[in-house]
Amino acid sequence: MSEWLTSAFAAASAAVDEIENNPVLNMSIFAAFVGVTMFIVIRASRNNATAADYYAGGRSFSGPQNGFAIAGDYLSAASFLGIVGAVAVNGYDGFLYSIGFLVAWLVALLLVAELMRNTGKFTMADVLSFRLKQRPVRMAAALTTLAVCFFYLLAQMAGAGGLVSLLMGIDSAIGQSAVIAVVGVIMVLYVLIGGMKGTTWVQIVKAFLLIGGGVVMTIWVLALNGFNLSTLLETAVAASDQGEAILAPGLQYANPLDFLSLGLALVLGTAGLPHVLMRFYTVPTAKEARRSVVWAIWLIGLFYLLTLVLGYGAGALVGPEQVLAAPGGVNSAAPLLANALGGPVLMGFISAVAFATILAVVAGLTITASASFAHDIYASVIKKGKVSGNGEVRVARITTLAIGALAIIGGIGVQGQNVAFLVALAFAVAASANLPTILYSLFWRGFTTTGAVCSMYGGLGAAVLLIVLSPVFSGAETSVFPHLDIAIFPLSNPGIISIPLGFLLGWLGSLLGPKDEDPRLAAEMEVRSLTGHGAEKAVEH
């Protein structure tokens, strides 16, 4: 065992040098994946004739297919790069992300999946505005959608910069910025050419590759440890400066409130993620929506169990110091583990899978954000419904270009941040601004337009303000702006304050504001959401 461990550490310590010596191999694998997926996207785009084709893939995907696509959408750079790195460096506290991300799907399955599919058409705002005043609710829902997508996009761009920097040995900020720009351009091409159909097939392929690669690496790590998890943990403890502290809580979240706030954001945020909710509209029936979520839970659950082995495997074979010192920092743990196991070839493949992960997720986020602006703001608010489907799609494509530019600029600004941590902020915004309004709309007959607007704007404003006033934004070495100090909110995640506030504002607004709900539409929404009767009418409308 000692001889094997010594050789493994020797291989890991040479990881960065090997990467620099194999740029052609690494980029060839990347280029091959981009070429194959672009071919798939172009093939899928041939049938994009209507707005339903562009936004919802023609509602032609089965439950299992959509389940893989949901898994592909959900298993982002945070899941693969961020969580594996967090476990490698912070141990138990890093694995809390996996637990939170997985448990969150029970909320989505039991409370929103079928009801959203029965009630909506293309976007989250279709549901929220069904029985309320269209223009103010759609505007608020569109803005919260754009905010969540922006935070999520930042995480993916940060992961892309760190990943390719590791593979190419790029240490300069200019080089990493160029990498992020290339990712942004490819993302825009996927969405412009393929729409939801092309994006969905990319996500399905990526889910197969990511879960398959994770299974192979997990079996490899366990085999080296005699398929004994205790042996793996002992090796990880020996390799860490923190010792047995990596097996106990408190290494990253010494403040229990910080952990509670993170947990609330992760568990409640999934059911409010616009790009996940939009996936429910790509299936033909509510039954298929339920099936897709069940498939997604099994696939996602399997993967998050793998992150425990992969994270501690990276800690044992590579070591936390080597991970933090590599280009890309904590986000480099999974590729470095692949390098320690199988050398440059395995590292190139796993990195290409991670790159595929980023491309698929940013494409899904981009089409969600562009659809929200085109369908909710442009068509419903600005044009008041007097626009053709082709006109909507044209605006959505123009919006895609703008979102791509913003994602590139924002991604450059958050280089070096842990992507799992950045995604947790997106979850906090989703849980604060979207989830209260979704649940109130689906389950409370007394909910009003005033309550919806107060909940969405109040939850969004509180979450963003607390993030700006937290150590995430300024006042610490790991902050986005380390030389600025305006951190007066002590917690890293705002969920413990902003989520209850979103629910409270929705309740108060409904009690104190005008009772402008249409009883007929409220009854129709309740029947439709619970039974599915009339859902196809909503789709055709």
| Inter-residue contact 86 to 97 (CB < 8 Å) | yes
CB 196 within 8 A of CB 54: yes
Which tokens sit at 215? 């299974």
pLDDT at position 11, please?
45
CA 240 to each of CA 171, 250, 254, 400: distance values in angstroms, whole numbers, following the listed order: 25, 15, 18, 44
Per-residue confidence (pLDDT) for residue 451, from 0 to 100? 92
Which of 153, 207, 198 has its CA nearest to residue 53? 198
438 Cβ contact list (under 8 Å, min separation 6): 112, 116, 124, 127, 128, 271, 272
Q: What is the pLDDT of residue 370?
A: 84
pLDDT of residue 15: 43
- Tell me the β-bridge partners of 474: 481
pLDDT, position 120? 60
One digit per residue, the tens of pLDDT, for the chain of length 541 reads 444 444 444 444 444 444 444 667 777 877 888 888 888 878 877 766 666 666 666 667 788 888 888 888 778 766 777 788 888 888 888 888 788 878 877 777 777 777 777 776 667 777 777 778 888 888 898 889 888 888 888 777 776 766 666 666 666 677 777 777 877 788 788 777 777 777 788 888 888 888 998 999 999 999 988 888 888 888 888 888 777 878 888 777 777 888 888 888 888 888 888 877 777 777 777 778 778 878 888 898 899 889 999 999 998 888 888 888 877 677 788 888 988 888 888 888 887 887 777 777 777 788 888 888 887 788 878 887 777 767 777 888 888 888 888 888 887 776 666 566 677 778 888 899 999 998 898 888 888 899 999 999 999 999 989 988 888 777 776 676 777 788 888 888 899 999 999 999 999 999 988 877 777 777 777 776 666 665 554 444 4
Residue 3, Cβ density class (10 Å: 0-12 exposed, 13-18 middle, ≥19 buried): exposed
Backbone angles phi, psi at 474, to 5 degrees: -155, 165
Domain layout of the chain by residue ranges: 2-43+52-540
CATH fold of 2-43+52-540 reads Sodium/glucose cotransporter (1.20.1730)
Nearest alpha carbon to residue 366 among 411, 327, 336: 411
pLDDT at 458: 95
For the four alpha carbons of 71, 77, 80 and 84, in that order, the dihedral sign comes to negative
